[in-house]
Amino acid sequence: MIRRILRAAACAALLAAPAAADPGGARMEQRLAEAHAAGELAGLHAVLVLKDGETFAEAYFPGPDEAWGQDLGIVAHGPDTLHDLRSVTKSLVGLLYGIALEEGLVPALDAPLVEAFPDYPDLAADPARRAILVRHALTMTLGLEWDESLPFSDPRNSEIAMEMADDRLRFALDRPVVEAPGERWTYSGGATALVGALIARGTGMELDAYARARLFAPLGIEDWSWTRGFDGTPSAASGLRMTPRELAKLAAMLLAEGRAPDGRHVVPAEWIEESFRPRAPTGPAEFDPGYGCFWWTAPGEAPPWAAGFGNGGQRLSINRGLNLAMIVLAGNCNRPDAWELPVAISRDFLGPALEGR
């Protein structure tokens, strides 16, 4: 019975998406449908590809889903279904910082981070912490102890511990100093929480309100929500929920060097370049991606590729060299192999479709 329900919902979702005008896109959609029906692509909810400003391929599939850990049951995903972006949220917070920076509302990248938090004078008096700059938060090179390798069900996971703390900002700022800032990349939701706080304090607006006014409204994005943490603050690290087509508007803006469809600059082009430029290696292997300002990047001075990654297989990939964007949304939360699904979509389905195979 469950399989019949899923199959029927999948058919309905595919019919809700218009057939791709490009033959390669149509082939990609068909191959995705066939692979999903064969039991492959476990957990896949949505794929949307933009090429040269147009929708190249679009497909949706039903499956179990959750909203920030809350079980939603089987969801019949479609183009207008809200979906957790999880840590893709971090990348969009990075864009918000660039907007606020151009408006002169947040500290410069080389400003000491603790100076923006005068309510913690004991931390500001620590010379080791005064060496930490805003740019170290944006590039996750704070030099502070942080560990998100444990399951998110484990209270020792640093992000979970931050959420449970009486003061999440103090928690993120007062972790033990383990090395000089800028020396090593360590994945940190605490870094994003601090940047989100800089935006909120500088603009005088909560993070979601500033996003609505300066990023979403100019792009015509209306269907979204932002989950709040235990302290009532919008979660900068992972709280954003958005529909695939609304997220595609953001992707199109990035491919258009920060411009909205009406030509207005929404995100400064210089900030997009700054964000996409690799600042820190994320691993020892040659094929490991680099990291910019809350964006994963390809190596090189002018990388053609940058992406936001999210727990469960969420992916927003931008390839400016090909004028291409790929969105993948999935339900494989907390699985260590969740990254393999968006890689397979790109390698086994999108690549051949672009090559005409």
Say how far apart CA 23 and CA 32 lie, in whole Å. Answer: 14
List, in sequence order, every residue forming a beta bridge with 328; answer none if it has no partner: 47, 315
Give the pLDDT confidence score for residue 274 in this predicted structure: 94
Per-residue pLDDT of the chain (357 residues; tens, 9 = 90+): 333 333 333 333 343 455 566 899 999 999 999 999 999 999 999 999 999 999 999 999 999 999 998 999 999 999 999 999 999 999 999 999 999 999 999 999 999 999 999 999 999 999 999 999 999 999 999 999 999 998 887 889 999 999 999 999 999 999 999 999 999 999 999 999 999 999 999 999 999 999 999 999 999 999 999 999 989 999 999 999 999 999 999 999 999 999 999 999 999 999 999 999 998 889 887 778 999 999 999 876 666 899 999 999 999 999 999 999 999 999 999 999 999 999 999 999 999 999 987
Domain residue limits, the chain: 88-330
Residue 232 neighbours by CB under 8 Å, 6+ apart: none
Give the pLDDT confidence score for residue 10 in this predicted structure: 38
Give the pLDDT confidence score for residue 161 in this predicted structure: 96
Give the pLDDT confidence score for residue 134 in this predicted structure: 98
Residue 153 token pair = 């069900």
- 146-160 pLDDT per residue, tens: 999 988 878 899 999
- H or E stretch covering 24: helix 23-37
Give the pLDDT confidence score for residue 302 in this predicted structure: 61
Q: Match 């508007």 to its residue by tokens.
A: 249
Cβ neighbours of 220 (radius 10 Å): 11
Residue 151 neighbours by CB under 8 Å, 6+ apart: 157, 334
Q: Under DSSP, is residue 297 helix (H, G, I), strand (E, B) or coil?
A: strand
Q: What is the pTM assigned to this prediction?
A: 0.93
* Gyration radius of the chain's alpha carbons: 20
Q: Are the C-beta atoms of 281 and 274 separated by less than 8 Å?
A: no
Q: Which amino acid is at 9?
A: A
Task: State which fold the 88-330 domain adopts.
Answer: Beta-lactamase (3.40.710)
